[in-house]
Structure formats: structure tokens, C-alpha cells
Amino acid sequence: MMAAKQILEVFVNLNIMLALGCLIWLGLQALVAKTALRHAFILQLAALKTVLALILLSPVLAIAATQAVELFSPGRSLVLSDFVVAAYLRGEIAMDAIRFEQILNTRENWTERFLLMNTKGPAIVALLLAAGMVVAILRLARSALQLHHLLDDSYLWKRVGPVDVRLSDRIAVPMATRGLFRRHVLLPSDLISDSDRRRIAIAHELQHFRQSDLEWEIVFELTRPFFFWNPAFTLLKRRFNRLRELACDQAVVSRYRVAPLDYARCLLHFCERSVGLAQAQRLNVALLSAGRKDARQELANRLLSLKSTASQLSAPRRHLIALACVMGTFLSFAGASLEAPKDWSHDRLMLSTVVNLERLRADR
């Protein structure tokens, strides 16, 4: 029972931190949009990856923050409910003690009800969560199986270091994926006769490997069963996909010296080929997303972004370092504040005494 309760608390805390991180990221984007870094897509992508990594590590960061406070300031608590109790005892919150304690213990009471499953509400929620997780896992398994069949039906054209460049008759748009040991770039077979578009397509997919985009795609898909119901997850995934492609386009045009007009024509060519086609969107990164409702708007954004200057590639990394430090500190303390109190403090004993006195007075 205790282990299940701890797992559930970590699950809830991670979802709260995900929502909090999403709000922070939206605020950062709004600020960046008003600065000279608004077209620094590579730096923005690195910043978003930093935020996502810190969110996933928030349980560990919370423990580290708690241990640091106990080491340098013994007896001080970071738990938010402890601060609220102290504020109540100081008279800063005007409320009956019994009502205040009920509100304070709301999360703990819901957790116990959920684990006991003694009412219909928690049972229905648990059933919906389990069903959603199963659906997400099945979709992931289907995508993995589709990619496995694609790789099996393709044939090796050449090898570029740890990357296999393969040709396939079953795809219309180039894509990149990876296995445990090898990375794969899949090209439509007819692209072999078009050297210009083939060069752009390979450069684009290799850039995704350099940005570790495949690894992040895998992280998103492996965590989707736990966060599928959280709107913050969906929003961050969409923002990540957008920045991933904008950063890749910017890097390819600048570093591989591809003319923006040629690159735009290549994107339009594959857009025409992919109209109406369904394509696996998981565990791979395609040159252009197909079969999506917002594909037209995505393409327009990418074409317009090609006008951004190459100088944005060298945007100072100190912004990223500063962001990591600030976000790491903030999420550490935010995560620690969500933890359940470890023992009965003096303030909580005082609150319990006040509650008992109010109950005795009410009984009289």
C-alpha cells in the first residue's frame, strides 16, 4: 500500500510539474518572440530540451533540494503545505480550523480513496487511465512494427559512419529512424536519380541525428502512456516538433550551404507527393509530416523561416546556461514543495490541537 501510494504521488507530481513547465515555456517563448533571439531556432530547441529534461528529472531534483536545505538549514521545510499551515497559525488565513484541515488534506484523502477503490469515481478514473495507457502502448507497438517492416523491405544503398542510407518503394517522403545500434535514413527509391533533392534530404535527416531528435522522439513516445491525458504533454510535443523542424531547416541551409530557394522547392515537392498519404508519426522523423490537419500551416511556417539569417546559429550559449540554472533551481524547489510532509511538525501539532478544540466546542 505504501509503495503504491508513493508511485501515485510521483505520477501526480510529474504531471503537475509538466503543466508548470509548459506554462513557464509559453512565457519564455512570449518573451523570446520580442527579442533578437526570435529566429534562433537552434538555441530555442536546445532550451526546450533543457526544460523537458529538468521536468523529467524533477523528482530527483526535489530530493536534492530537500537534502540541501536539511544540510544547510536543519529544521526548515520546503513543503508547500507546511508554509500554508504556518500562515494559518499566524492568522493570515481566515477560516475555521476544521474546514482548513479538510482542504489541506484533500490530496491525501483523494489518494487514499483512489488506492482503496471503494467508490465508483476513483474506479472509473483508474479504468480510463488504464485504457488510455493500453491504447497508447498499442499505437506505439504498431508504429514500431510498421517501421520494422519498412526497414526489412528496404535495401541498403550506402553507409555514412553509423548511419545506413536505405531505399524504399513504400514511402513518399524521406525519414530517419534508429534501432538499438544503427541509425537509418530511408529515402524513396526514385530519389536515387535526383541528386539535388537526395542531397538535401540526406542532409536534413543527418541533422536530425546531430540534434538527437530521434532520441527525444523515443522519450516522448515512451512517456506518452503516462501523460497522454495531460494537455501540457500534447502542447509541448507540438512545440517541440515545430522547433525541431525549424532548427533543422536553419542548420541545413546554413551549414550545408543549400540555397533557401532550392530547399523550399524540395519541401514543396515532397509536400505534393505526400498529399492524402498516411504515414507513421511515431519513432521516426520525416522530412515533412504527412496526413496531418496542420501540415499546410507547418509548411508555410517552415518556408517563411528560411528568411532568418545564418547569424542566429551562433547565438550566445550563455542564455541556455542561464536558463538551465534558473529552471533547475526553480523546478527543484517547486518539486520539493509538492512532496508530502515527512513527519508531524510543531505547527501541525498546533493545528491538530486547534481542530480538536473546535470539535469539542461543536459537540457541546
- 340-363 per-position pLDDT tens digit: 776 667 777 888 888 788 777 776
List the single range of 7-21, 34-48, 68-82, 228-242 with lowest mean pLDDT. 68-82
Residues facing residue 176 across a β-bridge: 185, 285
Q: What pLDDT was estimated at residue 351?
A: 81
Q: What pLDDT was estimated at residue 363?
A: 66
* Stretch 20-46: mean pLDDT: 87
* Stretch 16-38: mean pLDDT: 87
pLDDT band at 87 (very low <50, low <70, confident <90, very high): confident
Whether the predicted model's global pTM rises above the 0.85 cut: yes
Q: Which residue has the cell 479504468?
A: 127
Q: Quick: pLDDT tens for 212-254.
A: 999 999 999 999 999 999 999 999 999 999 999 999 998 888 8
Q: What pLDDT was estimated at residue 281?
A: 65
Q: What pLDDT was estimated at residue 278?
A: 57
Q: What pLDDT was estimated at residue 114?
A: 77
Distance from chain centroid for Cα 208:
17
Q: Give the number of other CB atoms < 10 A from CB of residue 9.
A: 17
For residues 359 and 193, which has the higher predicted lDDT (pLDDT)?
193
Q: What pLDDT was estimated at residue 295?
A: 65
Q: Which residue has the cell 528568411?
A: 307
Q: Give the number of other CB atoms < 10 A from CB of residue 345.
A: 16
Q: Which residue has the cell 505526400?
A: 274
Residues facing residue 187 across a β-bridge: 167
Q: What is the mean pLDDT of the chain?
A: 84
Q: Quick: pLDDT tens for 93-144.
A: 888 888 888 888 888 877 777 777 777 777 788 888 999 999 999 999 999 9
For residues 292 and 286, which has the higher predicted lDDT (pLDDT)?
286
Q: What pLDDT was estimated at residue 115?
A: 76
Query: With contact defined as beta carbons under 8 Å apart, do 97 and 360 qualify?
Result: no
List the single range of 35-39, 118-122, 206-210 with lowest mean pLDDT. 118-122
Q: 3-class secondary structure for the chain? A: CHHHHHHHHHHHHHHHHHHHHHHHHHHHHHHHCCCHHHHCHHHHHHHHHHHHHHHHCHHHHHHHHHHHHHHHCCCCCCCHHHHHHHHHHCCCCCCCHHHHHHHHCHHHHHHHHHHHCCCHHHHHHHHHHHHHHHHHHHHHHHHHHHHHHHHHHCEEEEEECCEEEEEECCCCCCEEEECCCCEEEEEEHHHHHCHHHHHHHHHHHHHHHHCCHHHHHHHHHHHHHHHCCCHHHHHHHHHHHHHHHHHHHHHHHHHCCCCHHHHHHHHHHHHHHHCCCCCCCCCCEECCCCCCCCHHHHHHHHHHHCCCCHHHHHCCCHHHHHHHHHHHHHHHHHHHHCCCCCCCCHHHHHHHHHHHHHHHHHHC
* Stretch 154-158: mean pLDDT: 92
β-pairing verdict for 183-188 and 163-168:
parallel
- The one-letter amino acid at 87: A
Q: What are phi and psi of 225, to 5 degrees?
A: -60, -25
pLDDT band at 292 (very low <50, low <70, confident <90, very high): low
Question: What share of the chain in percent tops pLDDT 90?
Answer: 27
Highest-confidence segment of 136-145, 303-312, 333-342: 136-145
For residues 293 and 329, which has the higher predicted lDDT (pLDDT)?
329
Q: What pLDDT was estimated at residue 185?
A: 95
Q: What pLDDT was estimated at residue 197?
A: 92
Q: How far apart are the C-alpha atoms of 206 and 198, rounded to whole Å?
A: 12
